[in-house]
């Protein structure tokens, strides 16, 4: 694992530890191989632009999320959603890969 990637990963782990110690178990992470990290989070969209979201978790940890045409988006009722459904103040669950810069590249977004 490269030094930059290791430092980013360590920063995320510290953030997760702080969130859990404050009683907000909303972020789960598990390493998978040396290149990618599976990452899940739940939070509220605070900023939205084309292909990018800023998400604030209950533990007040802010994440930047990127998505594209291959990202699966689902509405609360389980039906297929679209990028136009991703609005500020919406609560979402995101599954994806954490890249080396700390951005979560979303594979799936569920709108709560």
What does the alpha-carbon distance between residue 51 and residue 65 come to, in Å, rounded to a whole number? 8
Decide: 94 and 45 in contact? Cβ < 8 Å. no
Instruction: Look up tokens 């979402």; give the residue.
Output: 92
What does the alpha-carbon distance between residue 72 and residue 100 come to, in Å, rounded to a whole number? 22
CATH of the domain at 37: 2.40.50.320
Q: Which two tokens stand for residue 53?
A: 């979201």
- Predicted TM-score (pTM) of the model is 0.69
pLDDT tens digits, 65-90: 999 999 999 999 999 999 999 999 99
pLDDT tens digits, 8-53: 554 555 555 444 444 443 444 444 444 556 899 999 999 999 999 9
Domain residues for the domain of 90 are: 3-111
Look at the chain and report how many structural domains it folds into.
1
């Amino acid at each position: 694992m490269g030094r930059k990637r290791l430092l980013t990963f360590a920063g995320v782990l510290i953030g997760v530890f702080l969130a859990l110690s404050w009683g907000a178990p909303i972020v789960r992470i598990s390493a998978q191989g040396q290149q990618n990290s599976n990452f899940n989070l739940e939070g509220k969209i605070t900023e939205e632009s084309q292909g990018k979201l800023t998400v604030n978790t209950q533990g007040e940890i802010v994440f930047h999320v990127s998505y594209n045409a291959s990202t699966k988006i689902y509405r609360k009722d389980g039906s297929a959603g679209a990028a136009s459904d991703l609005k500020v103040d919406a609560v979402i669950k995101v599954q994806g890969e954490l890249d080396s810069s700390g951005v979560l590249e979303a594979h799936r977004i569920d709108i709560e």
